[in-house]
Structure 1
Amino acid sequence: MGHYSEGSLETAACLWESVLALRSRPITDPDAIGLALAIGKAFDALGTAALRLTVVGWTDAVEASWREVENDYPLCFDWDFVPAWIIDHIDWSDPFHPAVMQRGGG
């Protein structure tokens, strides 16, 4: 395992905290409920420890996305940006392999 800065460790913690929140406290709309169910399936398929390591692996990607918007983003990193990033960037369709969606170049 590489050496990570304190900031990256906090990002990893924010990612994990957001996944837990999105799983257990879905907003009452169909998309949020569907996401909570998909996250729950990943917990069931992989187990907590393996899923946590998967989520920690998204740290570099979320930090790169944050660097692109941090000077213009009006809300906070941990409670707003990170959960929104998970919603917009993670493909939960395969419960054994939740992963960052690959975006086409533009």
Structure 2
Amino acid sequence: MAEYSKDSLETAASLWEAVLALRSRPITDPDAIGLALAIDRAFDALGTAALRLAVVGWTDAVEASWREVENDYPLCFDWDFVPGWIIDHVDWSDPFHPALIQRGGG
């Protein structure tokens, strides 16, 4: 059985909480509406359990990104950094495969 650190478990939980929050964003923000609908399509396509496992799979990537900025990031990790990271790093265009956006050089 794999061993997970308490920090990694908290990161995974933060990722899932952020996806749920982004899915239910207020309808007053046009960008948030599009993202919420894309996330909702992924829930419908994959089901909650499969989507949750996909999201948990982003734990290492978000932790690596956090390590690059944690000393200079002025806001909190779970409620600010993680949702922003999802917005910037996840492509929701294929509801059957929300995927990390591959960026050159990090």
Deviation readout 1:24-62 (Å, 9 max, x if unpaired): 124622111000000000000000000000000000000
Tell me the residue number matched to 1:48: 48
Aligned to 2:6: 6
Specify every segment of 5 or more residues in structure 1 that has no aligned partner in the other structure, as ranges. none
Root-mean-square deviation over aligned CA pairs = 1.3
Aligned to 2:93: 93
Q: Contact (CA 8 Å) 1:26, 1:36: kept in 2 or not?
A: no
> Does structure 2 conserve the Cα–Cα contact (< 8 Å) formed by 1:15 and 1:59?
yes
Q: Percent same amino acid among aligned pairs?
A: 88
Given the two structures, how large is their TM-score scaled by the length of structure 2?
0.95
4+ residue stretches of structure 1 with deviation over 4 A?
Answer: none
Residues matched between the structures, number:
106
Tell me the distance in 1 between the aligned counterparts of 2:26 and 2:97: 21
Q: Distance in 2 between matches of 1:83 and 1:43?
A: 17
For structure 2, the residue ranges without an aligned partner over 5 or more in a row are none
Residues of 2 paired with 1:26 and 1:64: CA distance? 30
1:29-68 mapped onto 2 (5 Å cutoff): 29-68=29-68
Following superposition, the deviation at residue 98 of structure 1 comes to 0.2
